[in-house]
Structure 1
């Protein structure tokens, strides 16, 4: 039996489970909201063209209105000024889109501190237990934040001081970008940066360092609690938007049961 035939057989038998890590898209899907005077992305919206009526008697279809960075989405290197000379989302390498993935779970720490930051020491402790990070693969950061994804207010968790959402420290972002073998980093929150990252040095350090190192980001992921710490394969399916800085993305994981 060929490798691909074996994979199909495994998914049908259940010995390999396909887990959807994607946030469904609808008008209330939480999005990043920037303060004035900055421009904001569009919310997802369907515009009906016909529905078995005089506009089209036998078919139903819609236009879609959305931003590149709405819902679960992929950040390309050219998304940030530090990666402005990097590739766009249509040029994502196939080795990035189907790649090994590992998960670091800090949900217990985040439960007690919504501003919790991942540090290099946390990743080093993870590696001491689970082994090295995958060359050219993904690190997904589980925080339990997906439980807040029902409303914009819960997901952004903002007060007069700004949003309070977990992320990574500036030092950790630099390490992931410049010292790790990873090709990408994914989170459950609305962006790869912490809610307080506008005050970091540099501001929005995860974007600054990852995009500057021509690495990739994934956001608004779900079901990370169903993945093992190691051993899964990530399948990332963005739209190949020529010139695009990102794309809404279906993200799947293949997990041996």
Structure 2
């Protein structure tokens, strides 16, 4: 038997509305009223959202043809221990900051070795910009600007720490200026977990929390908006 011991639950997902930040050229979030209580006796809406909008999880087939979709993840793979690495100080001065091995080493010096099968969450401070879509995406003629995980860092975490995946409070685990999506590609090649647009990371301890990820089982989906709950010891 496995059990989760917790004293508090933190929701790491943003509320979905039609005004949330969107990746450039992604479809808008739309809500259409289908039934009204006054007319039909009940209230019902239809909604439309991109598979990679809001707090979401990416699937391997978003980068690799013939790879699995979001519906193929096993339920037990979506319950994971998590660590949180705070890089706000560096991201504050450099929106293009690339998270490197020194950030991992500094965290491990203070907290011990990252346990295998963990989700490594990076707290950049970008969650505070969510209600300002322009600043959250931070796009100019060169594209989006926000911090993300460097390719070498991801390779180290996968090969040397055997992590289950990564998450971040920006719109991408890759830096905004990375057009190769090296971190996404490395993790999804292993059918790992990639979480983007997380929030409330400031309420999590550096280690000890457990995440439960609720996906929409979209058939062959390239990703899914998710509900991510953190159970704190």
TM-score normalised according to structure 2 size: 0.93
Matched pairs, number:
233
Instruction: Give the Cα–Cα distance (whole angstroms) in 2 for the partners of residues 75 and 142 of structure 1.
Output: 19
1:150 to 95, 116, 131: 131
Instruction: Give the Cα–Cα distance (whole angstroms) in 1 for the partners of residues 122 and 99 of structure 2.
Output: 9
1:50 to 3, 27, 35: 35
The answer to whether the 8 Å contact 1:72/1:219 transfers is yes
What is the Cα deviation at residue 234 of structure 1?
Answer: 0.5
CA spacing shift, 1:214–1:179, aligned 2, 3 Å: farther
Question: Where do 5+ consecutive residues of structure 1 fail to align?
Answer: 11-15, 34-39
2:148 is aligned to 167
- 2:79 counterpart of 1:87: no
The answer to whether the 8 Å contact 2:115/2:161 transfers is no
For 1:100-136, what per-residue CA distance to the aligned partner results, in whole angstroms no more than 9, with x for missing partners?
0100000111111111111122212212221222322
For 1:164-217, what per-residue CA distance to the aligned partner results, in whole angstroms no more than 9, with x for missing partners?
10012221132234443111100101121111102xxxx121122111222120
1:27 is aligned to 18
RMSD after superposition = 1.9
2:195 is aligned to 218
2:205 is aligned to 228
The answer to whether the 8 Å contact 1:52/1:59 transfers is yes
1:181-200 paired onto structure 2 within 5 Å: 181-198=162-179
Structure 2 counterpart SS, 1:254 = strand
Q: Which has the larger radius of gyration?
A: 1
For 1:67-101, what per-residue CA distance to the aligned partner results, in whole angstroms no more than 9, with x for missing partners?
111100011222212xx343221121223211101
TM-score normalised according to structure 1 size: 0.85
